[in-house]
Amino acid sequence: MTRRTVLFSPGDQPELLRKAPTTGADVVVFDLEDAVSPAEKETARGAVADAVTELDAECELCVRINPLDAGGQRDLDSLKSVMEHVDSLMLPKVSGPTDVDSVCEVLGHDETPVLALLETAAGVLAAADIAAVDAVDALLLGAEDLSADVGLTRTESGTEVLYARQRVVLAASAHGVDAIDTLWTNFEDTAGLTDDAELAVEFGFDGKMAIHPAQIPVINDAFTPDPAQIEWAQNVLDAREAANEAQQGVFSVDGEMIDAPLIRQAEKIVAVAESAGVLE
């Protein structure tokens, strides 16, 4: 499974819910939280429950619930009869492991993957502890809410959230879960999104959140290995096989010395390329 793109779709708009899985996003999030006004929450719960049962989607279907003490309990109640059609749950404003544990307790198990959205200073600082919870399958950084919580001023360069981005990546990597980068809120700014997505790739993120279908191709392209990377990775893995037969621990490919860290990098490139459908 790859999570290059995580697209949000408002839970109270059935037409958009049905279109979202056709956008090319790897993960579609049916949103019961920020995208839905308080007056429409109940309507959205019914619409999302209907959508997940009716759709035969190839992408991952995720539902973002509200915090348990702010409507999340009712969200989960509305999903109980259709949870077999839900691939994952997104939990917003996660400040520590107990937030995830509480959701698992309501569900009665920890088998449903939880995508933990870190949107507060407490959540970012507890990133490693949150990633260590068995149910957590990804950490996501919500820089806009984080900015409000901390009092940061958001800038196009994003220097004010560099530490948070790096901390989330390190925590996710340490516990073997995905790291998903924050939104680029101006969906008409393709150039800005391209630069920001490429920076996220350099940081080590596995994917990026999106708020508009127009952002999907840009983000997918950034997080999909290019032909040169794939060729390098395949050459490394082929050379590894020959080195193993010759009982060599270190070997070279096109003049580059290859050791265990580069082998792991090559394996990841091939795995992402295969999952993204650009390599059979």
Give pLDDT tens digits for 229-262. 999 999 999 999 888 888 887 888 988 999 888 9
Separation CA 116–CA 206 (nearest Å): 14
Q: Are residues 270 and 163 in the same domain?
A: no
Q: Are residues 45 and 170 in the same domain?
A: yes
Number of domains comprising the chain: 2
Q: Is residue 78 part of a domain?
A: yes
Separation CA 241–CA 94 (nearest Å): 43
Q: State pLDDT tens for residues 165-202.
A: 999 999 999 999 999 999 999 999 999 999 999 999 99
Average pLDDT rounded to a whole number, residues 12-31: 96
Buried residues in 239-274 as b, exposed as e (16+ CB within 10 A): bbeebeeeeeeebebeeeebeeebbeebeebbebbe
> pLDDT at residue 64 above 90?
yes
CB contact at 8 A, 193 and 219: yes
Q: Are residues 95 and 144 in the same domain?
A: yes
Q: Is residue 47 part of a domain?
A: yes
Q: Are residues 95 and 213 in the same domain?
A: yes
pLDDT of residue 145: 95
Average pLDDT rounded to a whole number, residues 26-42: 95
Q: Are residues 269 and 193 in the same domain?
A: no
Q: Are residues 207 and 240 in the same domain?
A: no
pTM (2 d.p.): 0.92
pLDDT of residue 100: 97
Q: Are residues 132 and 10 in the same domain?
A: yes
Q: Percentage of the chain surpassing pLDDT 90?
A: 86
Q: State pLDDT tens for residues 45-62.
A: 999 999 999 998 889 999
Q: Is residue 280 part of a domain?
A: no
Q: Are residues 246 and 201 in the same domain?
A: no
pLDDT of residue 245: 87
Q: Are residues 183 and 234 in the same domain?
A: no
Q: State pLDDT tens for residues 171-181.
A: 999 999 999 99
Average pLDDT rounded to a whole number, residues 71-95: 96
pLDDT of residue 56: 86
> pLDDT at residue 102 above 90?
yes
What's the burial of 15, exposed, middle or buried (CB within 10 Å: 0-12/13-18/19+)?
Answer: exposed
> pLDDT at residue 44 above 80?
yes
Q: Are residues 10 and 125 in the same domain?
A: yes
Residue 237's alpha-carbon distances to 50, 98, 227, 240, 262, in angstroms, are 45, 41, 15, 5, 10
Average pLDDT rounded to a whole number, residues 153-164: 92
Q: Is residue 194 part of a domain?
A: yes
pLDDT of residue 261: 87
**Residue numbers of the domain that contains 241:** 227-275
Instruction: Give me the CATH number covering residue 78.
Output: 3.20.20.60
Q: Are residues 35 and 112 in the same domain?
A: yes
Q: Are residues 22 and 128 in the same domain?
A: yes
Residues in the chain: 280
Residue position matching structure tokens 């308080």:
38
Residue 156's alpha-carbon distances to 165, 185, 193, in angstroms, are 15, 10, 10
Q: Checking phi first, is residue 251 left (phi over 0); if not, alpha (psi -120 to 50) or beta?
A: beta
Q: How far apart are the first and last CA of the chain?
A: 14
Average pLDDT rounded to a whole number, residues 57-79: 95
Average pLDDT over the chain, rounded to an integer: 94
pLDDT of residue 244: 87
> pLDDT at residue 143 above 80?
yes
> pLDDT at residue 133 above 90?
yes
pLDDT of residue 279: 84
